[in-house]
Structure 1
Amino acid sequence: MEFSLVVIPGAGSLAGQEADEEEARLLYVVMTRATERLVLVGSGNV
């Protein structure tokens, strides 16, 4: 299943935390589903 646009909200919160293996795998799968645009949205507060 692929999508032309994939938006991942809260991506900024991933940078400050150590993601476990399952979260990292899920993020990879979601990111690779984008065929044209991938939007990562963060809060800017790190």
Structure 2
Amino acid sequence: VEEARQRSGSYMARVLRPGQVVTMEFSAQRLNLDLNAAGVITGVRCG
């Protein structure tokens, strides 16, 4: 996660797992990493 954050130039990163409750506020400086149930990254986006 930290390597992905550094490479993207983002200020912070968060990992989103299936069924996890998350806040919906947008932050252009945040990297979101979507994981599936097996822990495999299935999506990457800013916000």
State the TM-score, normalized to the length of structure 1: 0.29
Which structure would you say has the larger RCO, counting Cα contacts within 8 Å and 6 or more residues apart? Answer: 1
State the TM-score, normalized to the length of structure 2: 0.29
Who wins on radius of gyration, i.e. which is larger?
A: 1
